[in-house]
Structure 1
Amino acid sequence: MPADDAFDRYDDTAAERLVVEPPKRVDAPVRTPYERDRARVVHAASSRRLAAKTQVVGPQSDDFVRNRLTHSLEVAQVARDLSRALGSQPDVAETAALAHDLGHPPFGHNGERALADVSHACGGFEGNAQTLRLLTRLEAKTFTEGPDGRSVGLNLTRATLDACTKYPWERASEGPDALKFGVYADDRPVFDWMRVDAPARRQCLEAQVMDLADDVAYSVHDVEDGIVAGRLDLTALDRPAVWDTLRAWYLPGARDADLDLVLDGLCAVGSWPTASYDGSRRHLAALKNLTSDLIGRFCGDVQQATFAAGDGPFVRYRASLVLPERTLLEIAVLKGIAAHYVMQAVDRVAALEHQRELLTELVAVLCDRGPDALDRPYADDWRAAADDAARLRVVVDQVASLTDASAVARHDRLTAT
């Protein structure tokens, strides 16, 4: 469906911004509000920093492995294609995909766990909630009017911000030990503006597309990275061990027999390898064909199931994605393979522990040193903070903004004796 037709399916409320912006100069290129959103995320400093943040293994460890930026670009491609096929606005889904990991701290999910552990006093830490905070506060582009105006971040449209929200609820609604939530308490006003008239706790269709594209991309690409790194061989999988890992990480109730059937189905894909990877161009090409076939399989099955469930239109809250059970299990099997052979590999355990200790110590020393040890924007936030909890949130914002290398360098500099 042409993009113009998709654009017409979004009303004026979807295109609203927190701060009304003046018209662009008459000789400027004509772009939709959602195309402007995409450009703002592409040009954001937070996007550039993703190139030096861990996806699965550190970006400094190998030239081939994905970092957070390359992963986000791949998610964006999947999201755009699926959105266009469904007839929704592809720029909204693509921008959400480009932005979905902006809030991730150094060292990926491992760093996220470390910051969650040290931030209970200020409401916890969650990468998706941090993404909303970046887009609406920390990534400076637009301010409210007046000398005392406040930052509203990139001032994205309501539809795009909503599409970036993977978990549309606050931690308080889940309990103090909640691991997944999409907004911190002091960002609740912008969240409420964004979610006006939205069904409680429901992702919009474009957020569902982003979420699926993320799952598809990292399930397939983490396996690809693991193969090239020599950590796993799809022709010699230890199924019982992989299934134990899959249950521990993702699907506690999954049965061996069901998982065996699902893997057998994946093995029947024509490009599934029949020989161990040898690093040759022929095997590299075959591996790329496998990733392409798997992504097409997953997205095609979801598209067909979604069309079969209703007539649409497939935008905002007027429809939902339908994920077939087989597709969910196939994605989970790939995740389980990567988790078993890559994420929980023995040689990574010590490194992961060191990363968590480093971030914990860095938060502590920054809290002790205060604004003199913070970058100027965060030093200003520290001085404006009302209490210790607010100051802790500032420190967490600062640490989350760092790349892997800059976190190590700052920790070493501040803890040197």
Structure 2
Amino acid sequence: MSGRNVERVEGRYSALAPGYTEVDEDRWVPEHGKSVYRSSFERDRARLLHSSSLRRLGAKTQVVSPDVDDFSRTRLTHSLEVAQVGRELGRLLGCDPDVVDAACLSHDLGHPPFGHNGEKVLNELAAEIGGFEGNAQTLRILTRLETKRFHPDGRSAGLNLTRASLDAAVKYPWRVHQAPLRPDGTRSPKFGAYEDDLEVFTWLRQGVTGTRQCMEAQVMDAADDIAYSVHDVEDGIVSGRFQLKFLDDDIQRARVIQTTQEWYLPETSEDRIDAAIERLAGVEAWTRESDGSRRALAALKNMTSELIGRFCGAIYTATRQAHGSQPLVRHEADLVVPTETLEEICLMKGIAANYIMASREQMPVYVRQRDVLTDLHGLLVETGDRFLDPQFQADYRAADDDAGRHRAIIDQIASLTDGAALEWYATLVHGKPVMNRLFA
């Protein structure tokens, strides 16, 4: 337990990294006794690693659908990579690495089938009950749907993680009406808790004023951006959707700049985004063209490593310059992301968005995904609890009103993997044999 303060408590050991307190170790439902060989935060990480919700991410879309090839990342492999990046960056800054690791592992648990497209569909279908948001769904999974402990009155307490780990997992620590305003005056659609999860949200935010992220959540957020900005580009290149040499063409370059600006950097000039392209293209490992050979794949892997190191190094240096060498934990400091680094990360995201997410060839897929979820939702609303899994059937029957029953149906659909959603759609809606692929 190197680097921890170890104290003997009631015959057992309590191991806390510097800067953390017993309040940070508190659990929503108290658990008596402490592990003789693991800290509370290590136990949090273990609970997540063994959760069924994490396993399901292996069959949920990241950028490319899980059934397209054997190389592209799923939500699960993405989450594992985010955890590796976040754990190392957090450790260097003095965060407990297991708190950051737990936050990174859990950050995508709430994503429904078909990635962000599925999230948009469920948000529309759940509009009358407070909408659907993947991050709010994550909190719901951690504190209600993925159960390890119960309250004395019989209510689920979810995995019953510590306050520090739950706070770190909340990427958007505000309710829907508290979401920050965007440049156009509208509120961000992102939020971290549904109204019927307000009790646990209030508990985990105890002692925190306002809507700031804790340091561990900021590290998780940065690790998420870094990992998917780099890896989505790698997946896009390997799947044959584009090459980085396309940016040498003036028209292609302009499109990437426009997508980056519209999707991620609306307040940044085109010249600054173009300068970010020049900086990254000057990195020695930048791979303009890949032919799929082992040597080419190794070059791509080297590029991803170089870029992750570049981004993390810049953030670490800037944060240390601002806050000194002391451990930076919880709500005592803020992560510092240099402007140029942010622009480079957003450019990488913009490249993937331009050639994959915004690609016209994806539109028929998105339409069919929407149909699958909409029709499945309609059938489940019509048939009540008849086809729900036992745990969601119990939630449906225990609900006090139509809103609660509708939320149980939304929870059920959100829990499905891409393949399970297609199977339910084929068998329940159309009464046909299982479809293995969207275009089967």
Correspondence list, 1:158-197, <5 A = 158-174=163-179, 178-197=188-207
Work out the CA distance in 1 between the residues paired with 2:366 and 2:268. 27
Contact 1:3–1:89 (Cα < 8 Å) also in 2: no
Contact 1:313–1:319 (Cα < 8 Å) also in 2: no
Correspondence list, 1:60-75, <5 A = 60-75=67-82
Correspondence list, 1:285-324, <5 A = 285-311=298-324, 312-324=326-338
Aligned residues: 411
1:284 aligns with 2:294: no
Correspondence list, 1:206-245, <5 A = 206-237=216-247, 238-245=252-259
Structure 2 residue matching 1:372: 3-state secondary structure? coil
Q: Which residue of 2 aligns with 1:157?
A: 162
Work out the CA distance in 2 between the residues paired with 1:155 and 1:307. 33
| Deviations 1:326-345, CA, capped at 9 Å, x for gaps | 01000011011000111122
Q: Which residue of 1 aligns with 2:22?
A: 12
Work out the CA distance in 1 between the residues paired with 2:207 and 2:302. 43
Residue identity (%):
53
| Deviations 1:244-301, CA, capped at 9 Å, x for gaps | 1112211223322111111111011110124x21111111111000000000000000
Work out the CA distance in 1 between the residues paired with 2:298 and 2:312. 21
Structure 2 residue matching 1:79: 3-state secondary structure? helix
Deviation, structure 1 residue 2: 4.8
The unaligned stretches of length 5 or more in structure 1 are none
Q: Which residue of 1 aligns with 2:386?
A: 372
1:56 aligns with 2:63: yes
Deviation, structure 1 residue 126: 0.4
Contact 2:3–2:17 (Cα < 8 Å) also in 1: yes
Larger mean CA deviation between 244-253 and 289-298 belongs to 244-253
| Deviations 1:345-389, CA, capped at 9 Å, x for gaps | 222111011111211111111111111110111111111111111
Q: Which residue of 2 aligns with 1:115?
A: 122
Work out the CA distance in 2 between the residues paired with 1:115 and 1:130. 11
| Deviations 1:394-414, CA, capped at 9 Å, x for gaps | 111000000000011111222
Q: Which residue of 1 aligns with 2:341?
A: 327
Larger mean CA deviation between 265-274 and 108-117 belongs to 265-274
Work out the CA distance in 2 between the residues paired with 1:57 and 1:259. 26
Contact 1:128–1:165 (Cα < 8 Å) also in 2: yes
Contact 2:18–2:327 (Cα < 8 Å) also in 1: no
Counterpart amino acid of 2:172?
Y
Contact 1:163–1:204 (Cα < 8 Å) also in 2: yes
Work out the CA distance in 2 between the residues paired with 1:403 and 1:177. 30
Contact 2:58–2:75 (Cα < 8 Å) also in 1: yes
Deviation, structure 1 residue 177: 7.0
Contact 1:7–1:89 (Cα < 8 Å) also in 2: yes
Contact 1:3–1:84 (Cα < 8 Å) also in 2: no
Work out the CA distance in 2 between the residues paired with 1:387 and 1:287. 53
From the superposition, tell whether residues 75 and 305 of structure 1 become closer, same or farther in structure 2 (CA, over 3 Å).
Answer: same
Work out the CA distance in 2 between the residues paired with 1:29 and 1:97. 26
The unaligned stretches of length 5 or more in structure 2 are 6-15, 432-440
Contact 2:261–2:270 (Cα < 8 Å) also in 1: no
Deviation, structure 1 residue 152: 0.3
Correspondence list, 1:320-359, <5 A = 320-359=334-373
Structure 2 residue matching 1:54: 3-state secondary structure? coil
Work out the CA distance in 2 between the residues paired with 1:136 and 1:52. 23
Q: Which residue of 2 aligns with 1:398?
A: 412
Work out the CA distance in 1 between the residues paired with 2:192 and 2:410. 16
Contact 2:233–2:352 (Cα < 8 Å) also in 1: yes
Contact 2:25–2:164 (Cα < 8 Å) also in 1: yes
Work out the CA distance in 2 between the residues paired with 1:299 and 1:260. 22
Counterpart amino acid of 1:191?
F
Larger mean CA deviation between 366-375 and 30-39 belongs to 366-375
Q: Which residue of 2 aligns with 1:254?
A: 268
Please point out which of 279, 283, 286 is paired with 1:272: 286
Contact 1:54–1:106 (Cα < 8 Å) also in 2: yes
Work out the CA distance in 2 between the residues paired with 1:397 and 1:49. 14
Correspondence list, 1:99-138, <5 A = 99-138=106-145
Work out the CA distance in 2 between the residues paired with 1:141 and 1:202. 29
Counterpart amino acid of 1:330?
E
Deviation, structure 1 residue 199: 2.5
TM-score (structure 1 length as normaliser): 0.96
Q: Superposition RMSD on alpha carbons, in Å?
A: 1.6
Contact 2:60–2:66 (Cα < 8 Å) also in 1: yes
Deviation, structure 1 residue 20: 1.0
Larger mean CA deviation between 247-256 and 313-322 belongs to 247-256
